[in-house]
Amino acid sequence: MKNNFLDKVKDRLIISCQALADEPLHSSFIMSRMARAAYEAGASAIRANSVVDVQAIMDTVELPVIGLDKVDYSDAPIYITPTIKEMRGIAATGAAVVACDVTGRPRPHGEQLATIVETMRTEYPDTLLMADTSSLDDVKEANRLGFDIIGTTMYGYTPATEGCNIADNNFEYLKQVLAMSKTPVIAEGKIDSPEKAVTALKLGCHSVVVGSSITRPQLIAKTYIDAVNEL
């Protein structure tokens, strides 16, 4: 079976449905319904965290899933599908794509990303791999290792890129990523308006992921509360 994920999401919206353990909507049942909301609106795919959420979502909607598994380890700073264990766990759900941290930082247990990619290609040859990158160096490394998709996910979410926003300077960083990437780029991270989503696609991104501004009501509500509190 050919993995036609990239065809399905071309020029379309992917919706991230995530609620971590400390969030009010934390629940695989709720995330499966959130995915149904995304499906009804016309999303092309879902991005989701953890084996149980990915499975619940795949049981609920007929949409391809980008799966990841956020796990904190004490011996390394990265947390998005950090080791081969989580990579295998997500791939075993049948998710079309597995996303993982590609930020050049150390992985738990001293694992090497090149080895992880090689193992995944052997064990799950039909599963696409998405690199959640934070910098142009990360994009180069993802190119070198043969990732199928470059995501801008971590831009603004590493110590080195703290405070950076993908929309800064008329999306200058995204333009550089697009120029450098050898494979489809999916814009992700701080895309919080329809206009920004459209801009990312117009610039040449293959697809765009929107999350919090659709599926994290506590953050959406906060924008209202903050405005009202300024009165």
Tokens of 157: 């979410």
**Is the Cβ–Cβ distance between 229 and 212 less than 8 Å?**
no
Examine residue 20 and tell whether it contacts its own copies (CB under 8 A).
no
Please give the helix or strand (H or E) that residue 185 lies within, else none.
Answer: strand 185-188
| Region 25-84 residues binding its own copies, contact defined as CB under 8 A | 25, 27, 29-30, 33-34, 36-43
CA angle 189/87/53 to nearest 5° reads 65
Please give the helix or strand (H or E) that residue 180 lies within, else none.
Answer: helix 168-180
| Region 165-194 residues binding its own copies, contact defined as CB under 8 A | 194
Total residues binding its own copies (CB under 8 A): 47
Examine residue 10 and tell whether it contacts its own copies (CB under 8 A).
no
Examine residue 21 and tell whether it contacts its own copies (CB under 8 A).
no
- Burial string for 202-221 (b: 16+ CB within 10 Å, else e) reads eeebbbbbbbbbbbbeeeee
Examine residue 12 and tell whether it contacts its own copies (CB under 8 A).
yes
* Inter-CA distances, 144 with 98, 99, 110, 141, 148, Å: 18, 16, 20, 5, 11
**Residue 9 Cβ, how far from its own copies at the closest point, in Å?**
11
Examine residue 220 and tell whether it contacts its own copies (CB under 8 A).
yes
Cβ nearer to its own copies, comparing 62 with 230: 230
Cβ nearer to its own copies, comparing 135 with 153: 153
**Residue 192 Cβ, how far from its own copies at the closest point, in Å?**
10
Residues that bind its own copies (CB under 8 A): 11-13, 15, 23-25, 27, 29-30, 33-34, 36-43, 194-195, 197-198, 201-202, 208, 210, 213-231
